[in-house]
Amino acid sequence: MTEFKHIVAPEEAGKSVKELMRQHFTFSSRLMTKLKFQKLIYLNGEQMPSWVPTAAGDEIVIKMPDEASDFPPEDIPINVVYEDNDILVINKQPWVAVHPTKGKPNHTIANGLMKKMYEDEKAGTGHLYKIRFVNRLDMNTSGLMIIAKNSFAQEEIVKQMRKNTVVKRYIAVVTGEMPHDEGTIDLPLGRPFADEVERWVMPVEDGGQESITHYRVLERFNGHTLVQLQLETGRTHQIRIHLSYIGYPIVGDHLYCYGDPFEYRRVNNIPDYVHNERVSDYIDRQALHARYLAFEHPVTREHMEFETEIPEDIQKLISTVKAL
């Protein structure tokens, strides 16, 4: 269990525990309320209400609430890149949804995490916690994800995301050789139909949200481009839509390989679009991978930086196209 500690300095003597908690820790009002009602505030080793005044040398200890998710555990592989008491960083495989939904109630990363938690607790190497996905990836996108193990860790990283200090870089293989070595795609995105999973470029006045993607070409080969992308905003399907809209769809992307999916269905008279059709001879999913993450640890404030290798199926795609 994560604990936060503070030794009362001589100049702080007389201040209440609550005052010092607000001064030294960035707990949200919601978390402060939980700490109060679950009696998780300690002064010199004893549970104590937050209004109690302090003396120099007193030790304040705040324990995070015990919480646990209850997804059914399943044998879904979890590729751990980094783990401590507050966060978990994994390298997600393609073909697995992140969390259960109405259409996909199981066989998700969340189910795999539950199995891992139970095994770690039994082995004495971990504890149960509520799964909090800080960033999410589409089912067929692979790469780095952060899972927070408590509400404080989640809130702190989300704050960094709002300040745009979390660095998220992806790599993708797109159809066509992009002419510019680098650039920015600044196009608002929205969901034209509430019952459809697809999004597309929409004016802000019609409900579109600001969406900004920066790109840099890494390599061009045989009518394709290997491109690095950095998100400034994190809208659903943002990279996939932005690249498709400017004429360079991601190889294997069944939703956006034809551009505007709604226009494609209308022109081709396809009322029941098959979402899982294979659209590439070289890869059976979109060639998109979340390769790099950098952020500040929510508790230790240490700079965290992670980078993964390009997945085998994307490497094979690149090799195959180069050999044509």
Q: What is the DSSP annotation of 72-125?
A: PP------EEEE-SSEEEEEEPTT-BSS--SS--SSBHHHHHHHHHHHHHHHTS
Residues 134, 146: contact at Cβ < 8 Å? Answer: yes
The helix/strand/coil state of 174 is strand
Query: What does the block give as tokens for 241?
Result: 């839509």
Query: What does the block give as tokens for 290?
Result: 């979340």
123 contact partners, CB below 8 Å, separation of at least 6: none
Residue 33, Cβ neighbours under 10 Å: how many? Answer: 11
Residue 97, Cβ neighbours under 10 Å: how many? Answer: 22
| Full strand arrangement of the beta sheet holding 3-7 | 3-7, 59-63, 41-43, 46-47
Active site residue 120: no
First vs last C-alpha separation in the chain:
55
The helix/strand/coil state of 187 is coil
Annotated catalytic residue, options 120, 138, 195, 253: 138
Query: What does the block give as tokens for 108?
Result: 């998700």
Q: Provide the annotated active-site residues.
A: 138
